[in-house]
Amino acid sequence: MKCIASLLLLLACAIPVVAQSQPASAPAQVRPRIVSASPLLTDLLFQMGLGDQVVGVTKFCLLPDGVHRDVLSSREKVDTERIVGIRPDIVLIQQNPEDFKPLQRLLPGLKVEFFRIETLADIDQAIARIASLAGDPQAGERAVRKFHADLDAVRQRVKGLPTKRILFATGVDPMMIAGTGTFHDGMIALAGGVNAAAGNYDGWKKISAEVLLSLQPDVVVCQVFPGQESQTAEFFGKLVSLPAVRNHKVFLVDDPRWTISSMYSAKLTADLAEMAHGDRRGNDLPAPTGGLSVYWIVGTIGAVAALLLLGGLLLALAGRRRKPAAPKEVAQ
């Protein structure tokens, strides 16, 4: 009885201790500690120069060389306990906020901020918001200025140049392309091009080689999956009627940042502009091996098919007309 009472007393003492350990409003010199649950947001944080405030990242975040941070979550699972252990002030997320409710219950003062970033314009707003959350609005303004400057540089570069049909794709067999309303749609427009996929395709869509041919892009930038470089190159090499292939304007890229929208996208947009309008040559594609002309192949197939069908018909008719043989004399 006594032990239980003393245990309860101990617990009662612990509560105020726990309550006190949560920070009240941070003093001006102590910046909020930030956990990022998305590679895109991690990128933004570091690009804005707020890397020091980042205390936790995801497994897939790309960090600058030599920089390490605790990995606190993967795509599906948020390691709630570890995050609680680190005690951040802010968590920036792009996932479903419902997933973070348990975390908020454990750390009542925690701010969970949800970002939706789908276009270049969204990045502006994101930068401003992150900066204010981090307690460093100037960093935000600097970043936005730089971002706009980079983008303006690109605009200047392509001013007056004829627009090209540009297509951004990933993977091969089947290939996915960026249609309207995607991030890359915006990048293409900035780079002085028109999205070749604009007609029928909204968002990311899988397409077949034929569709690719029907889109007739002048420039193709394709992000290849590791290990599929040669397969992708061969795939494009066969599509000789594609303007991009004819003009050596198929670029196979493997930088994962092509599909992580961040401030770095400004640089990539500049690259895109160079690829489209500059002298840069695309990857060398293997020439399609000469083979039989397709007309020979089709002709052969057709002839064989006709012969087979005829043969089968004859066989079938022969069977129908065959009369029963007259019974022969039994040999004794």
Partner 1 sequence: MSQDECKPPDLNVTAASTGDAAAAAPRTATSSSWPGTGGTLTTRTLLTYLFVLAGATLAVLLLCSLFGQVSIWTEGVWELRLKRLANAALVGAALSSAGMALQGMLRNPLAEPYILGVSSGAGIGVMLSFVVAGMLHVGNFLSWLSMPVLAMAGALATSAAVYAIAQRRGRLDPYVLLLSGVIVNAFNGAIMLTLYLILPEKQIANFATWAMGYISESTGPGLFIFALLAVLTGWGGLLMRGASFNMLGLGDDVAASGGVHVHYLRAETFVLVSLMTAAAVALSGPIGFVGLIVPHICRSIVGPDHRRLALVCGFAGAMLVMIGDTICNTITPWIGVGILPVGILMALSGGPFFIYLLRKRRARVEA
* Footprint on this chain of partner 1 (rule: CB under 8 A): 60, 74-75, 170-174, 176, 200-202, 205-211, 213-214, 225-231, 234-235, 238-241, 256, 259, 288, 291, 294, 297-298, 301-302, 304-313, 315-316, 318-319, 322-328, 330-332
Which CB atom, from 12 or from 331, has the smaller least distance to partner 1?
331
Q: How far is the CB of 199 from partner 1 (least distance, A)?
A: 11
Closest CA to 184 of 244, 118, 250, 94: 118
- Please tell me the distance from the alpha carbon of residue 119 to that of residue 149, in angstroms, as a whole number: 17
Contact 57, 83 (CB under 8 A): no
> Of 132 and 231, which has the nearer Cβ to partner 1?
231
Contact 45, 90 (CB under 8 A): no
Phi, psi of 90 (to 5 degrees): -135, 140
In the block, tokens 């420039």 appear at 219
DSSP string, 73-131: E-SS-B-HHHHHHH--SEEEESS-GGGGHHHHHHSTT-EEEE----SHHHHHHHHHHHH
Of 5 and 294, nearer to partner 1 (C-beta) is 294
- Minimum distance of partner 1 from residue 261's CB (angstroms): 14
Q: Smaller CB distance to partner 1: residue 10 or 331?
A: 331
CB nearer to partner 1: give 53 or 195.
195
Cα within 13 Å of Cα(21), Cβ side: 11
159 versus 322: smaller Cβ distance to partner 1: 322
CB neighbour class for 70 (10 Å; exposed up to 12, middle 13-18, buried from 19): middle
Measured distance CA(128)–CA(143) in Å, rounded:
9
Residue 84 CB, nearest approach to partner 1 (Å): 22
Burial class (CB in 10 A: 0-12, 13-18, 19+), 258: buried
Nearest-approach distance from CB 4 to partner 1, in angstroms: 44
Min dist CB 316 to partner 1, Å, is 5
- As a whole number of angstroms, the distance between CA 282 and CA 274 comes to 11
Place of tokens 């970043």: 143
Min. distance of Cβ 258 from partner 1 in angstroms?
Answer: 11
Least spacing, CB of residue 284 vs partner 1, in Å: 13
Give the nearer residue to partner 1 in terms of CB position, either 108 or 327: 327
